[in-house]
Structure 1
């Protein structure tokens, strides 16, 4: 009894840390998956300029991440203030993004400004959150498990509720989206208060100057060799994420089931996390991640041949690729923690990793102008260009990541 009671405070701290993963995920999925479809289909923004706006905003956001990481390395004692400010900006920008001006001409600059604010705030809060977790006792394994579980719950909520709102009566979309935004802001506020009431973990010594920290990371061959497979794999996931709603609505003609498909995808990722963790302990993190890449490739190969009415086949694709996503979430931070030994530069290292993820999302935005050049238009129904860009191109990128990770594993057998 007393032993169990002694463990409760530690478990509470782990849970209090992990809860912030839910609202961060609730913001990330709409920003990167549902927002393009909303502005194209409901606001009337043309596909090609929308893609270039997404590319530019995400590229700018990407360049901030190492700077944010470096700033946090040097101001760990003010981390709570940075997190509170970032959360406030994120909540306000998120509400504004889903309430744009009525005309496409006015909506475009509004989208640019709000995206820059939302991306920047989300990045600052996420990097601070990861840095906090990296300084917890015993590597924060239980806290990280709470974080990933809460994040997947947030993803499932964000995959079902906004999609259901967008598929409902157009006259009610604006009011319901505002309610969802307010719900998100409330969840974010509660989770942040739970975290910030906890004592901050001990800070390490101030990191090196930015130039020196980046040079030190670049001199780390194992860290440097991890970046190409990570970027290729992230790009192979970012392209279908950007185009998922277009594929479901036009290629499959199953708009009403979009929320179910997304929930199945992220639910499979949640269920896959403990399985990948167990497998990684047996075969190693690199070998485990490569197996997940093969599973994802098999799923997208199947998606390339789907058309109207293939709902069960696409559900199987969502389950396979979603399960593989669990490995993508779990294993790169594990490998990063093993190769980055300079604790004072851990924030910069996580900043670089998130920067590459943002680069992948930025490059994925170019998929929209590519589709426009291939004469695809939202709402036109099934065709050949959408499966080519949504499924075939990610397969090629995933196989390139598989090869690059194999070379990495031969040199650094983790």
Structure 2
């Protein structure tokens, strides 16, 4: 057998998704990666802006500018892990290299020394975002390459996301449990509890995951075929309408989620008036417990959105989730203030809606990778998932960079004691921005071009290309 034949045989013997508990172990790094998802947007900006004294405007600017750093790094990192496979593969090795570095950054950001200022926050945010990106994009790209089938891709990504949401539930529960045990519910306790959780869990889960599934080898190419350079590949991607539309959807979803999560501490305290609204055994329930409703709803909503995508397609299921989000935010306008149960309903419904887009967007992106491969001759899963990671990060960073200074401009005080006008502006921003963004998502996804039938045609083309 020639070297070319062995390469082709390795490509054709694609990796298969592990089953049952082995799949959970494969997906388990998401338990720790969840710490630097929404929780870092919910608690860390408020912690550095308030108790550490950096202020709303400075903290918002730092979080925005560090996320924009990913514009320059994410796409390049994704291209590099696709373009330069190692003898140990394209995915596992970078997860292993990145893990200890991300642990160091997590400890630094969650346990700042006395006097930590703007430069300290900026440096460590950039540091952990780089290594979080490498671990996350290698993991989800690896998962996306486990199947070539339209619906199975949705199933795989839904299970990955279910583990991620489980991680969110754990990391959001940890600060509340620690606060209940210690009698402390301040932001510093919550941030430190999350840091310990991530630093301990990430190395364990990454080590376990790399043994649970095989990587799919890079597609073989003719010896005379020149691989795409970074600029050439980026140029080709910019001419892919389906990719641009999907990246736009993901950024809009990030903007909506970033607005809601970045304002969570202020909305639950000032707008919904939930501080001390509910007591159990004489102990006031922390409003942060509402996030458990959000991610429990997202977790249990995943199978519903998966089944709906089987019936109406991934893109229409994303549109349906956007409609449900709009209804939830409109409900928040009329729900009674100081009512923990009413707020729980809002966060539960919003969570159910939230659970659809993350895994369906990724499954749709795997289909876009097929389209690109028919045009470029390369399987650029890592690069495309890096672009989606970039747009999502920008989406979550922009609200903090824009809204925090805006709140400062209207006189909103992050430490409380706000007048009715400032609170009214807070409510208008919290509801109006997500509703507008979800309407734009519906417009972009309702007639998304890659349907189940088109994806099957693309796989037929790729099979013919690979065989020749």
Residue 348 in structure 1 maps to residue 388 in structure 2: no
- Paired residue for 1:193? 207
Q: Deviations over 1:249-299 (max 9, x none)?
A: 222232443232100001100111000011111112122111110110111
Change over 3 Å in CA distance of 1:306–1:370 after alignment to 2: farther
In the aligned structure 2, how far is the partner of 1:72 from the partner of 1:298? 41
CA gap of 1:309–1:12, structure 2 versus 1, over 3 A, is closer
- Give the alignment of 1:11-410 within 5 angstroms: 11-77=20-86, 78=88, 79-103=91-115, 106-137=116-147, 141=153, 144-162=157-175, 165=178, 169=183, 178=192, 180-198=194-212, 200-205=214-219, 208-255=228-275, 256-305=285-334, 308-341=337-370, 342=373, 344-365=379-400, 366-378=402-414, 379-381=416-418, 383-406=423-446, 408-409=447-448
The separation in 2 between residues aligned to 1:259 and 1:203, in whole angstroms, is: 44
CA distance in 1, matches of 2:331, 2:92: 46
Distance 2:208 2:39 in 1: 24
Give the secondary-structure state (helix, strand or coil) at the position aligned to 1:102: coil
Give the length in aligned residue pairs.
Answer: 404
Change beyond 3 A, Cα 1:384–1:114:
same
Cα distance in 2 for partners of 1:224, 1:8 equals 28
Any idea what the Cα deviations from partners look like across 1:137-164, whole Å, max 9, x if unmatched?
5667565444222111101112222356
Kindly report the root-mean-square deviation, in angstroms, between the aligned alpha carbons of the 2 structures: 2.7
- What SS class does the counterpart of residue 367 from structure 2 fall into? helix
Q: 1:298 to 1:171 in 2, by over 3 A?
A: closer
Displacement of 1:399 in angstroms is 1.3
Q: Does structure 1 conserve the Cα–Cα contact (< 8 Å) formed by 2:35 and 2:171?
A: yes
| Structure of larger gyration radius | 2
Q: Deviations over 1:215-257 (max 9, x none)?
A: 2222322222323233223211211111112211222232443
Please tell me whether the aligned partners of residues 132 and 200 of structure 1 are also in contact (alpha carbons under 8 angstroms): no
The DSSP-based 3-state class of the residue aligned with 2:435 is helix
Q: Which residue of 2 aligns with 1:4?
A: none
Distance 1:376 1:19, change over 3 A: same
Give TM-score, length-normalised by structure 1.
Answer: 0.89
CA contact (8 A) 2:253 2:392 kept: no
Larger helix fraction of residues = 1
Rounded Cα–Cα distance in structure 2 between residues aligned with 1:112 and 1:357: 19
Cα distance per residue 1:338-386 (max 9 Å; x no partner) = 2221252111111111111011112111211111112111122562111
Q: Please state whether the residue corresponding to 2:380 is helix, strand or coil.
A: helix
Consecutive unaligned residues of structure 2, counting only runs of 5 or more, are 1-15, 221-226, 276-284, 453-468
1: CA distance, partners of 2:407 / 2:95: 38
- Structure 1, unaligned runs of 5 or more: 1-6
**Structure 1 residues 96 and 274, CA gap change in structure 2 (3 angstroms):** same
Distance 1:169 1:380 in 2: 24
